[in-house]
Amino acid sequence: MASAQHIFIRRPQLRYLLSCVLLLCLTFATELLARPLIVLSDDTRSYQKVLHGLRDNYKAQFDIIDVENLTRPGTSVDPLRYDYIVAVGSRATSQLLQALPSEAPPLLSTFIPRRSYHTLLQKYQASSRLDPEHVTAIYLDQPYQRQLRLARLVRPDAHTLSVAFSRASAKDLPLLEEALVSTGFSLEHKTLDASSNPIKQLQPLLESSDLFLTLPDKAVFNRTTAKWILYISFRLRVPLIGFSRKYVEAGAIAGVYSTPEQIGRQTGETMRFMDAGYSILPAPAYPRYFSVATNPSAAKKLRIPIASQSFLEDKLREAEQ
């Protein structure tokens, strides 16, 4: 009968083998729990606020880089190694849509205007990765329905609402008309001719309306025209619904907007959804969280009573539940 063979392993050898096994286990676990990659358009304050809101609502680890460093020769960050990528802002979204191959991980674009997002999709539509399963977005701007509800809360007795478009934003007219159905407003609108004086085109529009809805369209609302529109609105006593907190502070009677932190919060929640392993990304979405700003001083000059910001926010949230 053959004698049994015994293998003796010295303690140092045993520790070495155990270390190797542990290292292999950690490497395997790291591959299973790959971190998402966050790509910032730049490192300015607003993007850092998005990042702050994201961190408060996404407790898992992630890697972060800005576009400048991502595109720098010799960078050690390989986007293809990640489970998915989050592009914060238009610049990061554009760079990633342009550079990533079809086998790249899913892309979540956030803190981006809706029109900018769709313009980029059209620009890079030849890319085979532009598929609902591979790319989605969280918009920066508000849905028309929410803006119109605020307008109705501000002026319950108003009949006519006016809007000015550029050639680019005029593509939104069907969306606005759809949102108008449930609000009871009739619409006056004009697509501005870039070669003509914008103020002369805007004044008749304000004269024929009870409310004026401003849009985040730089072709219409730049520094010069924004001031003149405010001046005309006070003279005609036609209140403006602003598209940002700053424009409300400048003289619009009220506005609904989402802060960078609120966009970051929704981004973190969406990342948790993606971590859960769903095979299809959520559809592009407007901001879930928002704030209302009011300008009581402007309301007083226009002789329009206005409710508190918290009351208006509560009413808008109730309408969306």
Residues 156 and 294 in one domain: yes
Residues 86 and 46 in one domain: yes
Q: Is residue 4 part of a domain?
A: no
Q: Is residue 24 part of a domain?
A: no
Q: Is residue 307 part of a domain?
A: yes
pLDDT for 94 equals 94
Residues 108 and 148 in one domain: no
| Full domain range(s) for residue 307 | 144-257+290-320
Q: How many domains does the chain have?
A: 2
Residues 178 and 315 in one domain: yes
Low-confidence ranges of the chain (pLDDT < 50): 1-9, 12, 14-33
Q: Is residue 22 part of a domain?
A: no
Q: Is residue 25 part of a domain?
A: no
Q: Is residue 193 part of a domain?
A: yes
Residues 181 and 271 in one domain: no
> Please, which residues have CB within 8 angstroms of residue 170's CB and are 6 or more apart in sequence?
191
pLDDT for 222 equals 82
* pLDDT tens sequence across 250-278: 999 999 999 999 999 999 999 999 998 77
Using DSSP's 3-state secondary structure scheme, residue 175 falls into helix
Q: Residue 55: which CATH number?
A: 3.40.50.300
Report d(CA 306, CA 276) in Å as an integer: 44
One-letter amino acid for residue 33 of the chain = L
> Please, which residues have CB within 8 angstroms of residue 177's CB and are 6 or more apart in sequence?
187
pTM score > 0.75 for this model?
Answer: yes
Q: Is residue 103 part of a domain?
A: yes
Give me the residue label for tokens 């985040």: 216
Q: Is residue 20 part of a domain?
A: no
* pLDDT tens sequence across 64-109: 999 999 988 888 888 889 999 999 999 999 999 988 887 889 999 9
Report d(CA 129, CA 85) in Å as an integer: 13
Residues 135 and 213 in one domain: no
pLDDT for 205 equals 93
- And the tokens for 82? 């990640």
pLDDT for 132 equals 66
- And the tokens for 175? 């969306």
Q: Residue 316: which CATH number?
A: 3.40.50.2300
Residues 86 and 179 in one domain: no
pLDDT for 21 equals 39
Residues 57 and 195 in one domain: no
Residues 158 and 191 in one domain: yes
pLDDT for 47 equals 97
Residues 218 and 82 in one domain: no
**Angle, CA 75 vertex, CA 70 and CA 77 arms, to 5°:** 70
pLDDT for 11 equals 52
What is the C-alpha R_g of the chain?
26
Q: Report residue 186: phi and psi, to 5°.
A: -95, 150
Report d(CA 156, CA 183) in Å as an integer: 10
Residues 61 and 209 in one domain: no
Residues 97 and 201 in one domain: no
Nearest to 92 by CA among 75, 107, 104: 107
